[in-house]
Structure 1
């Protein structure tokens, strides 16, 4: 009796010791301690451009930054694109899939339970081989069984947990990629709309010049009829008129193509989409608040995505390190088997349990190669992270330079327009009075038209440069918008319903707007001034 009790104590002590050892080993994290690469950054931007000093409370760009352009129609288009653009919705689904992959990785931390039920019936031939004459052996056989199995791999070396952390970081990267796609869509739509309005303004200049040239043709014909001007003057005037009409037609073609691009961005078929033209650029001048260079790391989604990739590479090192240690798996099976339906009898029960420890002893350098490759991939991600930061700084500096120089260029070009228009008026007056030839008039007309078109183009580029500057500064996004690691899982392990769509996370929703399937735009609810749907010939 004493020996039996001692044996039980030994088993119990061994079990407790093994459990304590498993608990301690399960806390072993083989991944290196992660710390983002520290970068020494400049204190200020090299070009100030349109940036203005800001108070700490308003040093962030508004998330609806395009409203600062003061165009209600652009506001409505941006809202429609955010709700219906198919590329953005596809990126939201990519984020959802990343969350599911994280859940798949986490599932391996839990015991894997399976149930099985089976039934068989077998009939043998009475004249089969080796069945002797007069044999009374059974011809019919049956078997019914059900069982349950359980398998669990203790995560002694944190290989599974590091895979879970990698999946969560990959989900955060997907969220940053969604933010980047959204910002790119917002900026592309705003840029296309600005270019469209720039083409409208150019078209208005061409129309005004055409009216002026038509008057000039009439003047030359009147002078020819009075025998006070040669027919060459009429030919020159008509050539100038027709050439300008051809240029206006080309501008209209460019506008149609740009309009088609905008239609696709807002999820409408180009055939049913039209934006009424205007005659001039009327955008409010964007004045983004100043942001220190260091804050760019927190506000650019592409930089956040690059940093999350670096964190994933760090965790991959831990996974490859864990491969050098034993992998232990516990498994158990129990159930009942009988040739009838008396399955609940203990005499028909069966069970099996065991433990397996696997330690690769020699694989020709396979694990070392994987570890070395993961270290190299981590250093590669560090280099790509630094490259992404440098590209971001270049984009900001480029657009700061553009906004500054284009503002000065617009002022200079405006002076050139005033001078060219005065010259055009004076030469036409001199020609009407017979004091100069029509060649001087043509030269003045060409110079005036070119100067006016150049001014519109410079003003358009200046507005677009401000849009691109907002985009380069992150467009109002913040790293704080990334989903928290403890919120990433789309459902809990015992949830079996409502699995078609997970709850929105970090502002990313996979529930598509019902209007997304209507490419005519008729089912789209308007949040601001409606688009012009008239049947204006185009």
Structure 2
């Protein structure tokens, strides 16, 4: 009997191993959905001509290129304390736990159980046996007894993954976790870019508020001069009213700018995870807006550098694996189980060969009829995959649109800033000339103040355009992926190297003949 039992166990193990080796994974194998990728960016001609470093790439700490210590400190603080990032990190940990739970299904489940009981039997007509403790009852001549029972058992159960259902579940969980990883990176990039945009908008308002206060001072002086002229009879009451209106408009604009600055300051406080009441930034009315060099990658590289594109593609991969999970439900499941242990009525004699017990046997189960539920599940999985593929392709198209929009914005803002700079320089010359004429007695103070107002307006137009260009460069960094890279071969994110040389990469050079586009390098 012992030899026969041993042979049975060995045969069952051999069958299980054979089935596992020969097991297949039903359902379609995943292939990355094809998308149309342009050879170049339509609006990136100036960048392509001026490409001085084709090996340059966006740094993962791209904000350092703006050379603003306050901005750097704020972004680093946001990466540690922002609650949206914390939520995304928790979602990623949840996805990793799901992968671990799916992987655990490949292995057998082993459990142990120990029990002990003491029970009282009903009335009996004879002496107890097998550990039965008896006692006499003088009233009716019957006996009562108490039975002891102790046992220790171990149980093992394993469902071989014959049709690849578990492996497809693991594949789907990994795809979802990779999508979550990309979403976490995207959340980090989004928070950093939003903070940088809000910060530069706040600095723009600092400059505007300073210029508006200077306009307020000048308009107040003009109003005083107009009142004096009215009293002297050289100006009408209409002139006084017009001067008052001009001053009030500047005061109103100043309030609007101050409101916007306070709101930007509140937004930055939330991004860095602190209450707005405890946060403030000192004003810088002479802030200089940087225009850093931003290397431009090939359009095909955008598919690995954009977190939303990678997340959408990994979501499609996860959905594809779900088709295999649904199709595996059509096949029977095999469960191998074994149980062994000892049972006796006394603990002292429990662990002895005569008291051992064991069971061993397979369990084959299959669904005969389910009213079409499994077929519906397959159709649902296929429809979900088709929808995810469509979303992936739409995300790719949107990514190309975002980059083209940013390139167009930066191109035209740079030309606009150049034009406003020329206007500002000419107005400086006109103001200097007007001041010289005042000193010579050939011009009035009112004429000088009017020319100063024109100069302030030219300066405001220039500063506002420079601020928008800086904010546009942040949007371009975000739309290019912000120094993040996905390696399809490793199925993981890799670190991006910082640019070795940032010398005039993004500056236009119309007379250049080269049309080279930069490529992206990353650390392995």
Same fold (TM over 0.5): yes
SS in structure 1 opposite 2:484? Answer: coil
Answer yes or no: is the 8 Å Cα contact 1:324–1:367 preserved in 2.
yes
1:311 aligns with 2:309: no
Residue 15 (structure 2) aligned to one of 14, 18, 33: 18
- Structure 2: runs of 5+ lacking an equivalent: 125-136, 496-524
1:32 aligns with 2:28: yes
Assess, with a 3 A threshold, how the Cα gap between structure 1 residues 122 and 406 changes in structure 2: closer, same or farther. same
Assess, with a 3 A threshold, how the Cα gap between structure 1 residues 16 and 184 changes in structure 2: closer, same or farther. closer
Deviation for aligned residue 1:125: 7.1
Deviation for aligned residue 1:387: 0.5
Q: C-alpha separation between the residues in 2 aligned to 1:49 and 1:214?
A: 49
SS in structure 1 opposite 2:487? Answer: helix
1:480 aligns with 2:487: yes
Name the counterpart of 2:160.
Answer: 154
Name the counterpart of 2:184.
Answer: 178
Name the counterpart of 1:371.
Answer: 378
Residue 217 (structure 1) aligned to one of 223, 227, 245: 223
1:96 aligns with 2:102: no
Q: C-alpha separation between the residues in 2 aligned to 1:263 and 1:123?
A: 72
Name the counterpart of 2:281.
Answer: 275
Assess, with a 3 A threshold, how the Cα gap between structure 1 residues 15 and 259 changes in structure 2: closer, same or farther. closer
SS in structure 2 opposite 1:96? Answer: helix
Name the counterpart of 1:121.
Answer: 118
**Mean Cα displacement is larger for which, 16-25 or 236-245?**
16-25
SS in structure 1 opposite 2:227? Answer: helix
Answer yes or no: is the 8 Å Cα contact 1:163–1:315 preserved in 2.
yes
Answer yes or no: is the 8 Å Cα contact 2:163–2:331 preserved in 1.
yes
1:353 aligns with 2:360: yes
Name the counterpart of 1:471.
Answer: 478
Answer yes or no: is the 8 Å Cα contact 1:32–1:314 preserved in 2.
yes
Assess, with a 3 A threshold, how the Cα gap between structure 1 residues 262 and 99 changes in structure 2: closer, same or farther. same
Matches within 5 A, 1:3-14: none
SS in structure 1 opposite 2:150? Answer: strand
**Mean Cα displacement is larger for which, 444-453 or 287-296?**
444-453
Q: Can you list the C-alpha shifts for 1:158-182, whole angstroms capped at 9, x where unaligned?
A: 1111111221222111111111101
**Alignment size in residue pairs:** 475
Answer yes or no: is the 8 Å Cα contact 2:16–2:160 preserved in 1.
no
Q: C-alpha separation between the residues in 2 aligned to 1:231 and 1:435?
A: 24
Name the counterpart of 1:300.
Answer: 306
Deviation for aligned residue 1:410: 2.5
Name the counterpart of 1:529.
Answer: none
Name the counterpart of 1:388.
Answer: 395
Deviation for aligned residue 1:119: 2.7
Residue 247 (structure 2) aligned to one of 220, 241, 265: 241
Answer yes or no: is the 8 Å Cα contact 1:67–1:75 preserved in 2.
yes
1:46 aligns with 2:42: yes
SS in structure 2 opposite 1:336? Answer: strand
Q: C-alpha separation between the residues in 2 aligned to 1:149 and 1:11?
A: 17
Answer yes or no: is the 8 Å Cα contact 2:190–2:478 preserved in 1.
yes
Deviation for aligned residue 1:220: 1.8
Name the counterpart of 2:329.
Answer: 323
Answer yes or no: is the 8 Å Cα contact 1:49–1:404 preserved in 2.
no
Name the counterpart of 1:532.
Answer: none
Name the counterpart of 2:503.
Answer: none
Residue 62 (structure 1) aligned to one of 59, 63, 71: 59
SS in structure 2 opposite 1:30? Answer: coil
Deviation for aligned residue 1:11: 6.3
1:402 aligns with 2:388: no
Q: C-alpha separation between the residues in 2 aligned to 1:217 and 1:424?
A: 20
Q: Can you list the C-alpha shifts for 1:338-371, whole angstroms capped at 9, x where unaligned?
A: 3332322333332222210112122222222222
**Mean Cα displacement is larger for which, 350-359 or 466-475?**
350-359
Name the counterpart of 1:136.
Answer: 142
Answer yes or no: is the 8 Å Cα contact 2:123–2:143 preserved in 1.
no
Q: C-alpha separation between the residues in 2 aligned to 1:423 and 1:469?
A: 37
Answer yes or no: is the 8 Å Cα contact 2:26–2:324 preserved in 1.
yes
Residue 151 (structure 2) aligned to one of 145, 165, 170: 145
Q: C-alpha separation between the residues in 2 aligned to 1:44 and 1:238?
A: 55
SS in structure 2 opposite 1:479? Answer: strand
- Structure 1: runs of 5+ lacking an equivalent: 486-504, 508-538
Answer yes or no: is the 8 Å Cα contact 1:54–1:289 preserved in 2.
no
**Mean Cα displacement is larger for which, 196-205 or 274-283?**
274-283
Answer yes or no: is the 8 Å Cα contact 1:163–1:316 preserved in 2.
yes
Q: C-alpha separation between the residues in 1 aligned to 2:228 and 2:6?
A: 124
Residue 259 (structure 1) aligned to one of 242, 258, 265: 265
Q: Can you list the C-alpha shifts for 1:468-523, whole angstroms capped at 9, x where unaligned?
A: 011000011100399858xxxxxxxxxxxxxxxxxxx979xxxxxxxxxxxxxxxx
Q: Can you list the C-alpha shifts for 1:43-99, whole angstroms capped at 9, x where unaligned?
A: 1110027634153421x1111111112212111111111122222122112211211
CA RMSD of aligned residues (A): 3.6
SS in structure 2 opposite 1:186? Answer: helix
